[in-house]
Each structure stands twice: as C-alpha cells, then as structure tokens.
Amino acid sequence: MTMKEEVEVLRNIPLFAKLDTAKLKLLAFTSERLTFEAGQALFNQGDPGDAAYIMIEGEADVLVDTANGKVAVARLARNAIIGEIAILCDVPRTATVIAYTKLTTLRIDKETFFRLVTEFPQMAVEIMRELARRLDKTTEQLRQCMSRVGAASA
C-alpha cells in the first residue's frame, strides 16, 4: 500500500477525518505497518498499553477473560481503531485482540497518539464520541443479559 493509499484509509476513520493531508501523511509515515496472520494476537488482556492500532484490511476478534475462559465481545473490521483505551487511561489492556483473518494494521505509538490529541482538539471530541458509543452498546448488552438472567430466575 502506498503512502497515498494509507492517507485515504486514515481519512475514512472518523477520528482522523478532519486532519489535513499533511498531518495524515505524517501520521502514516510515523506509524508502523504490521501484518498479523489469522489466530495471531495483536495484544493480550493485561498487557501494557503502548500503542493504538488502525485496521487497514481484515477482521479481528475482541476477547475478554471471564471465569469460564475467553469470551468474544466484538468483531472489528477495516477502519476500526483498537487499543486506544489502554493508552488514554494509562491502564493495562482491557481485552485480548486476535486476528480473525489476515490483518493489516497501522500501529500508532502512545507518544504520537497523545501529540495528535493535544494538537487537534477535534480528534479528542471524536475519541469521546467513539468511547460513548461503545459504552452505550455495552450498557445495552448488559441490560439484555440482566433481563435474561432475571427472566430465567423468575
């Protein structure tokens, strides 16, 4: 993939959509392109959060540890950003991410990610929107689970 193609991929991600072309080129240039084979882990729950990943091609599963083993909670595809929670909150990884298919990503290290957020407040707003969407989805899933548990015990 050429630099121009990487810039177009970044432009299609809401988080980066409002960045000008020069900043997108810088982001593409400073990011590390990584390829993962199906079944390969990008990172594991509990690992230190040192980078975020932009999915360019392929799909990945998000798994969380439970008392009954790992449970898949999401499948992500092209243009998804993953791993940002650990670097934003300075906490260990909250989930394990495994390539479901062959996966190509751009890895953005923690320092670069924070520099972008600091320089572009609109990016911080988009991060908040994305995290709010995820929280809303998780809350709805929890509500449905609690409803099923309540119905089963009645």
> pLDDT tens across 70-106, in order?
999 899 998 888 988 888 888 899 899 999 999 999 9
Q: How many residues are listed for the chain in this entry?
A: 154
Residue whose tokens read 């959060």: 49
Quick check: 28 and 71 in contact, CB under 8 A? no
In this structure, are residues 99 and 39 in contact, taking their beta carbons and an 8 Å threshold?
yes
- Which pLDDT tens digit goes with each residue over 5-48? 888 888 888 778 878 888 888 888 888 999 999 999 999 999 99
Please give the average per-residue pLDDT across 136-144, as a whole number: 86
* Structural domain total, the chain: 1
Domain holding 42, by residue range, is 3-153
- The whole-model pTM stands at 0.80
pLDDT of residue 77: 93
Bridge partners, residue 35, by sequence: 104
**The domain spanning residue 62 has which CATH number?**
2.60.120.10
